[in-house]
Structure 1
Amino acid sequence: MTSLFKDPAFWTVVLFLAPLLFRVPIAVALGMSTIFVVWHWDMGYQMLSYSFFAGIAKFPLLAIPFFILAGVIMEKVGIAERIIRLIKQLVGDMTGGLAIATVIVAAFWGAVSGSGPATVAALGLILIPGMSNAGYDKAFAAATVSVASGLAIIIPPSISFIVYGDIMQQSVGALFAAGVFPGILVAGFLCVAVYIISRKHGYRGEPRGSRNEVLAALKDAFWGIFTPVIILGGIYAGIFTPTEAAAVAIFYGLFVGMFIYRSMSFKILYEILKETVVGTAVVMFVVACAGLYSWLGATVGLIDKVAGGLTSISSSPVVILLMINIILLFAGMLLDANSIFYVFLPILAPVIAHFGWNPIWFGIMATTNMAIGQVTPPVAVNLFVGARISGISMERIARPAIPLIIAAMAALVFITAFPEIALFLPRLMGML
């Protein structure tokens, strides 16, 4: 026991977990635990500033602020509102139409935003009141928007894919391609779930518009619908890299806002830049501190100990895979996706290599876990944003979210059991 208390690996874990119990921000818990262990065991604290900078000074991570900026632009210039209007016209008053439309719009917006909470914020302000006014229970409406917005980190482009690709040295383009069918699969399961719930409670939408109204909505939303085509089409066609695609998306959004919708103003531009700076600072601070923590874990032998412990539990890949899924699901209840990747992936990388698992498929499976974690209490960042927008408590939203979470978990089982769901498209495109 005495040797355990003298082990820096032990204190690396304890000093990270203990502050989380007191709701200390994740980045602070990661950074302070690293600084203390490095200082106390004299591991060369002078290198921390260099390591902090080196953790974020990477070209693939440049796509993160670009995609955040692109997503904010698309929201502020009115693209989200026009897409929602079109979907509402198409589904009309069919049973569960607005709920199904919410899932579809969230999946589509995930191809623009790349962030779950940002998708809740962008769509919730419009969809939650719209569903409530059409007779849907407001808590169910908020839960649907919150859970469906988790698709944003599965449907490419995804900030989580960028972080995963950087840590695991995998092609971000291949990860983007691999996320398409799993994202559609999760969206399909959610559509079935919201339809069953809507049918049980008699939830319907508003009457469908005339043919001319539908065509007018389609014409108005065309430029927004074309956004994922430019981003993903350019990447898959080899025209530009994911980072370059993010930059193209920014200029495209500015063009649409200034010359097509003419909704851009200096005030809106200031709001766009402010939200982007804040969002980027939060993500990159977490990435930098989590990178320090990962380096410390490798230095003190924590990664080797945990990885060795996992592989020694069982020789069955099914058992280990089940354990990993459970660990990631529980971790998703407490931490954000990027922190989880930096903390757990260095530990899991030897396990992935030991069993010969495809790292691209594993990344999709792990990210799906993160998407579910975003709506699973106690942290449930998506539910928190949905509660703030709707003005009702997170406890009320959590109840109708349970069947939707179960539907997402069912999709996760398929993604885990059948890797080709994720690998088919990148293989077809010659990325694997």
Structure 2
Amino acid sequence: MAITAFFLLVAMPILVILGMPIAFALGVTALATLLMLGNMPLNIIPQKIFAGIDSFPILAIPFFILAGSIMTIGGINKKILSISNAIVGWVDGSLAIVTVAASMVFAAISGSAVATVAAIGGITIPAMQKEGYGSSFAAAVAASGAVCGPIIPPSIPLIVYGAALGMSINDLFIGSLVPGLMIGTGLGIAAYVISRKRRFPKHERMSLSASLQAIREGLWALLMPVIILGGIFFGIYTPTEASVIAVAYGIFVGLFIYKEITWKKLWDVVVEAAISSAVIMMILAASKITSILVVANHLSEAVTNSILAITGSRFGVLLLVNVFLLIVGCLMEANAAVVILTPILVPLVAKVGMGPLEFGVIMVFNLCLGLLTPPVGATLLLGNDIARANMGQTTKETVPFFAVGLVVLAVITAFPQIITFLPHYLK
């Protein structure tokens, strides 16, 4: 057990920090553990690698990634921005609030934070810079708004979590909706307060006819998240089927309605989405060996007993788990962290009465906050790169938005009924 703990909890993160691809780090440490223990045949490796991706729900991942890319080249992201501007573009710091609002809508289609900051921030960050918001603040707003991506359904990390436990991804998606709306609303309020304090510009209020025109022109884009989430929530189709529908709908709208997709562009995004999906699939495949080692060597029981020896209270255990996940989120990609830590932490929180549904949402929420923190914060790095800003200043500008995330995290941890009431009600 000590060997397993060392390789998986110490050696593997070190290899990742040193620059080894996550899938390779998982595979190398799992192989080293097997060789050191000598209690399992090595032919288990190809079997478990295949089992790690032989899952129908996991098929949703490449399709949702592709749907997000198609939205960008099909002009759907621009229509979402136009609608957001028509609704909230007249308040102080309008562009910052529009960025958050559009990110929430885009998140309800792509399920990816990186795709959200690229598609929405790629447009609004230069616009905010032109209006004098400051490069670092513009990058911080876009990076923070994109955090909604993996929280508001559909969420790729939640698909990974659900597939790891064999539980209903529909329930996870429904349970994450309210926390996702909470953090999106909180980020919008923070952007407004800061913008008003710094006297950032606002746009003129659009006339009713102009607002209706913007909504009418963007109606096809606005229907996309409604079709995806509505179908999932009411059991019309599974998340995997919804991901295929999202791709088909995005291609149709981009080709025949907005007419911004060309076959050349479509081929390029298919290749790009295939590469991104392959990275995640390799992580899932390699992580299956890790999960088997965790179970076979009773690592989860050891971690559970160690933490319960420190504190047996529900509050104390959940506080320690949240702090641990926040640290992990700073150092590791969310999907990799989910597959490694799920078999270890789920039995622990079960001891204090927290079910896998609410913990899955809390876990993903925790890890997504890591997208705003160096050194691995993907949305922070991408937003800063788009703005060409100073990383130190951008990190400082994200602090108020990160604080909003911590407040929402504390609320949903203290009151997990916020997560569970909607899935139970719809059933």
Q: Structures share a fold, TM > 0.5? A: yes
SS at match of 2:362: helix
Question: Within the alignment, does 1:279 sit opposite 2:276 as a pair?
Answer: yes
Residues 150-159 or 370-379, more deviating: 370-379
Q: Report percent identity of matched pairs.
A: 38
Structure 1: 5+ residue runs without aligned partners? none
- Structure-2 residue corresponding to 1:428: 425
Q: Which residue of 1 aligns with 2:340?
A: 343
- Confirm or deny: 8 A CA contact 1:131 1:205 kept in the other structure: no
Q: What corresponds to 1:27 in structure 2?
A: 23
Q: Hey, what's the Cα distance between the residues in 2 that align with 1:16 and 1:371?
A: 20
Matched, 1:306 2:340: no
Please say if 1:92 is aligned against 2:84. no
Query: Whole-Å Cα distance in 1 between the matches of residues 291 and 89 of structure 2?
Result: 50
What's 1:384 paired with? 381
Shift of 1:289: 1.8
Q: CA RMSD in A?
A: 1.6
Unaligned runs of 5+ in 2: none
Deviation at 1:361, TM superposition (A): 1.2
CA 358–12 in structure 1, closer or farther in 2 if over 3 Å, else same: closer
Matched, 1:263 2:260: yes
Give matches, 1:188-227, under 5 Å.
Answer: 188-227=185-224
* Partners of 2:113 and 2:379 within 8 A in 1: yes
Q: Distance in 1 between matches of 2:352 and 2:368?
A: 25
- Equivalent position to 2:178, from 161, 176, 181: 181
Distance, in Å, in 1 between the alignment partners of 2:208 and 2:135 is: 30
2:77 to 75, 80, 88: 80
Once the two structures are superposed, residues 68-98 of structure 1 have per-residue CA deviations (whole angstroms, 9 ceiling, x without a partner) of 1111111110000111122223323421222
Task: Tell me, in whole angstroms, the C-alpha distance in 2 between the residues paired with 1:270 and 1:393.
Answer: 35
* Maintained 8 Å contact 2:313/2:352: no
Deviations 1:134-154 (Å, cap 9, x if unpaired)? 221121111111011011111
Residue of structure 2 in register with 1:50 after alignment:
47
Q: Matches of 1:18 and 1:332 in 2, distance apart?
A: 14
Q: Match of 1:374, SS?
A: helix
Query: Does 2:215 align with 1:231?
Result: no
Task: List aligned pairs for 1:55-134, cutoff 5 A.
Answer: 55-134=52-131
Alignment of 1:342-421 (within 5 A): 342-421=339-418
Q: What's the secondary structure of 2:206's corresponding residue?
A: coil
Aligned counterparts of 1:367 and 1:222: Cα–Cα separation in 2:
31
Q: Is the 8 A contact 1:124 1:386 kept in 2?
A: yes
Instruction: Tell me the alpha carbon deviations over residues 15-71 of structure 1, each in whole angstroms, 9 at most, x when there is no partner.
Output: 213313423222221111111221333332222111111101111111111111111
The AA in structure 2 aligned to 1:105 is A
Give the whole-Å Cα distance in 1 for the aligned partners of 2:298 and 2:83: 55
CA contact (8 A) 1:134 1:206 kept: no
Asked if the contact 1:9/1:300 (under 8 Å) is kept, the reply is no
Shift of 1:8: 4.3
Counterparts of 2:46 and 2:318, CA distance in 1: 36
User: Does residue 18 of the first structure (1) align with residue 14 of the second (2)?
Assistant: yes
Q: Which residue of 2 aligns with 1:296?
A: 293
Partner Cα separation in structure 1 for residue 203 and residue 361 of structure 2: 36
How many residue pairs are counted as aligned between the two chains? 426
More moved, 392-401 vs 63-72: 392-401
Q: In the superposition, relative to structure 1, how do residues 17 and 87 fare at CA in structure 2: closer, same or farther (>3 Å)? A: closer
Does the 8 Å contact 2:51/2:288 carry over to 1? no
Code of the residue aligned with 2:372 in structure 1: it is: V
**2:32 counterpart letter in structure 1:** F
Cα distance, 1:224 vs. partner?
0.6
- 2:80–2:106 CA contact under 8 A, matched in 1: no
Is residue 147–residue 382 contact of structure 1 (8 Å, CA) maintained in 2?
yes
Quickly say closer, same or farther: Cα 1:302–1:66, change in 2 above 3 A: same
Deviation sequence 1:73-126 (CA, Å, 0-9, x none):
111100001111222233234212221221111111110110111111111110
Deviations 1:277-312 (A, max 9, x none): 111011111112222222222233322221221222
1:171 aligns with 2:172: no
Q: Deviations over 1:234-287 (max 9, x none)?
A: 112221111111111111111111211122211111122112111101111111
CA contact (8 A) 1:115 1:153 kept: yes
Structure-1 separation of matches of 2:6 and 2:368: 29
1:230 counterpart SS class: helix
Q: Which among 295, 314, 319 is matched to residue 316 of structure 2? A: 319
CA contact (8 A) 2:338 2:364 kept: no
Aligned partners of 1:209 and 1:427: how far apart in 2?
41
Deviation of 1:397 after TM superposition, in Å, equals 1.3
TM-score (norm 2): 0.96
Partner of residue 137, structure 2: 140
